[in-house]
Amino acid sequence: MNSLLLRIRPFLQTLRYALAFVWQSSPSLAVGSIAVRVVQGLLPLAVLYLTKLLIDAVTEGLKVPSQEASLTPIATILAGLAGAAVISAMLTVGASLISRIHAQVVTDHMHALLQAKSVEVDLEYYENARYQDTLHRAQQEAPYRPTAILNALLQCFQDGISLLAMAGILWWLHWAVIPVLALTAIPYFFVRLQQANRLFAWERERTPLERKAWYVNMLLTQATAAKEVRLFDLGPRLQKWFREARTVLRQERIALERRWALAGLAAQIVGVIGVFGVYSFVAVRTFHGLLTVGDLVMFFQAIQRASGFLEGLGWSVSNLYESNLFLTTLNEFLAIRSKLPQAVRPRPFPASLGQGITFEQVSFQYPHEERVAVRDFTFTIKPGEHVAFVGANGAGKTTLVKLLCRLYDPTSGRITIDGTDLRDYAIGDVRGAVSGIFQDFVKFQFSAKDNIALGVNASEVALPVVAQAAKQAGVHEAIERLPKGYESLLGKLFDGGHELSIGEWQKVALARAILRNSQVLILDEPTSAMDAKAEAELFERFHELAQGRTAILISHRLSTVKMADRIFVIDRGQIVEQGTHDDLMGRQGLYASLFLTQAQHYQ
């Protein structure tokens, strides 16, 4: 009994979630679907009864001399059957149309939920393999699972209505027929439930391997790694890895399918025995004159249909139970909550910085990593000051930017703006006050205008405003040379797109950052793909456009930071030196050593 409850309880929970999910997507379509399915469910009852009347009318007509027989009753019944057939055809088309429309609405609703949660979660989750597994499972189910839920719910409802109608007819025959047919259908239902449970467990266990196969396939088929795949002849090796992963997944799934096929066959044999037992009961009663020929045909069809409806109901219910895989994964994904605490009563963010930005003994360690990325950072950046953070790759430069943007919170210490802890401001206000580009900036495959206009949160940005930002970033002339100017599509992902050089892409990203007009401007390795002349031009322009704003420059190329008001030298997660370029060169410390080493390459 406890085992049965353990199986039924998740199903009832799944059914409740599925009903709420479908209803929220479109109440009007849900009502329309239910109405059509009710009529479809009751229609077989009318057809069976009209069939019985037709056979009885024909049988009685055979007993009357032909010259006295009337075809009127038979014609009337035939007209009724024809009308029922027409109504059935109309309902089938209508139900199919509503189902297809509703499936699209449900799918779009589900995508909206996934996208909203994906944007909401912290950056930390995207650097977590378990989160990636959860997201992958949710995305893999997205193309078909909502439609499966909708179809299973509607079919379950229709089969339930029809089954009740058949049960009414069979109760007229004998009440014991109903439990006999129900008992013979139970084994198949439990086989399907067991199949759903095993499939759910197997898919969760094999998500990492499935995701690996998906990743290798992406490397083989998308532009991300196209150059390396060809240069290093990686195709055969990557294909081998993909085949190996898919072979394991395929063989395990086939083994499961074989076991389920054998178990399903045994369960269906039990059902066949039950159905033919009831057939025998009806035949014997007809033979003894207790039923008419019309009754015989009606009950035979009722038994056959009841058996089919029971099997269909079991299939629909088990499909809903199987959809627990999707709903559990979806709920698991939607249950993710930000680890960055929101201020209950956020402080108003200053319209302009008065005291500046202060790091007070800030340390940070990435989750699931032993290495401390930032240790005891203590410094203040004054309003309007231009500072640079330099050091080798992996020293902790970019981490401090993530902390300032509140993509993470410090492990210890605190960051303040005008004396107020970042955690006491609304997260949106903190991020809205910061603008910039990262070394791994996104090349949005949109028009040049849209690429730059994404810098501000507005539905429409005037072209002159966009063009002004492009001029400040030094990319206006490059965009104007494109066939459609600012309406030209950038990138090669879509037809008619135009590829830019890496330096031009970076200038587009810089224009996007400039357009945001934030109080703090951050440039994280912004010139890594530019030549020396372009680099010099950009930094002259940078100092001009950053006037009146606080600017933070992250770089490992020391020639780019000489103009900064102050330079912080980071080594192994700690600030080891700070001062102007001349001060640091005079100290002959780490900065001077790195600067002279890099300068040798330009002599």
Per-residue pLDDT tens over the stretch 97-133: 887 887 778 778 777 888 888 888 887 777 777 777 7
Domains and CATH numbers, the chain: 26-334 (1.20.1560.10), 353-433+519-603 (3.40.50.300), 441-517 (3.40.50.300)
Q: Minimal CA–CA distance to 105: which of 6, 24, 204, 198?
A: 24
CA distances from 596 to 241, 395, 447, 525, 550 (A): 46, 19, 43, 20, 28
pLDDT tens string 307-339: 777 777 777 777 777 776 667 777 777 777 878
Which one is predicted more confidently, 475 or 524? 475
pLDDT at 420: 92
pLDDT tens string 562-571: 888 899 998 8
In the predicted model, is pLDDT for residue 487 greater than 90?
yes
Strand-pair partners of 417: 357, 420
pLDDT at 361: 92
Cα dihedral 218→224→230→231 (10° resolution): -140
Please give the model's pTM, rounded to 2 decimal places.
0.70
pLDDT at 13: 66
Count of alpha carbons within 13 Å of 134, Cβ hemisphere only? 21
Average pLDDT (399-425) is 91
* Rounded CA separation 62/80 (Å): 21
User: Phi then psi for 446, rounded to 5 degrees?
Assistant: -120, -175
pLDDT at 534: 64
In the predicted model, is pLDDT for residue 147 greater than 70?
no
Other Cβ atoms closer than 10 A to 588:
10
Q: Are 145 and 109 in contact (CB under 8 A)?
A: no
pLDDT band of residue 476 (cuts 50, 70, 90) is very high
pLDDT at 397: 82
In the predicted model, is pLDDT for residue 375 greater than 70?
yes
Q: Which residues of 259-287 are buried (b: 16+ CB within 10 A; e: fewer)?
A: ebeebeeebbeebeebbeebeebbeebbe
Tokens of 364: 């940070």
Percent pLDDT > 70 in the chain is: 89
In the predicted model, is pLDDT for residue 428 greater than 80?
yes
pLDDT at 10: 60
pLDDT at 529: 55
Give the sign of the dihedral formed by CA 217, CA 220, CA 222, CA 223.
positive
Tokens of 220: 């083989």
CA distances from 507 to 199, 378, 441, 443, 555 (A): 50, 32, 11, 11, 17
Other Cβ atoms closer than 10 A to 422:
21
As a whole number, the mean pLDDT across the chain is: 81
pLDDT tens string 216-267: 888 888 777 787 888 778 888 889 999 999 999 999 989 888 888 888 788 7
Helix (H, G, I), strand (E, B) or coil at 159: helix
- Per mean pLDDT, which range of 13-27, 243-257, 438-452, 529-543 is the poorest? 529-543
pLDDT tens string 22-81: 777 778 887 887 788 778 877 887 887 888 788 778 877 767 665 555 677 888 888 888
* Rounded CA separation 231/201 (Å): 41
pLDDT at 91: 85
In the predicted model, is pLDDT for residue 511 greater than 80?
yes
Other Cβ atoms closer than 10 A to 301:
17
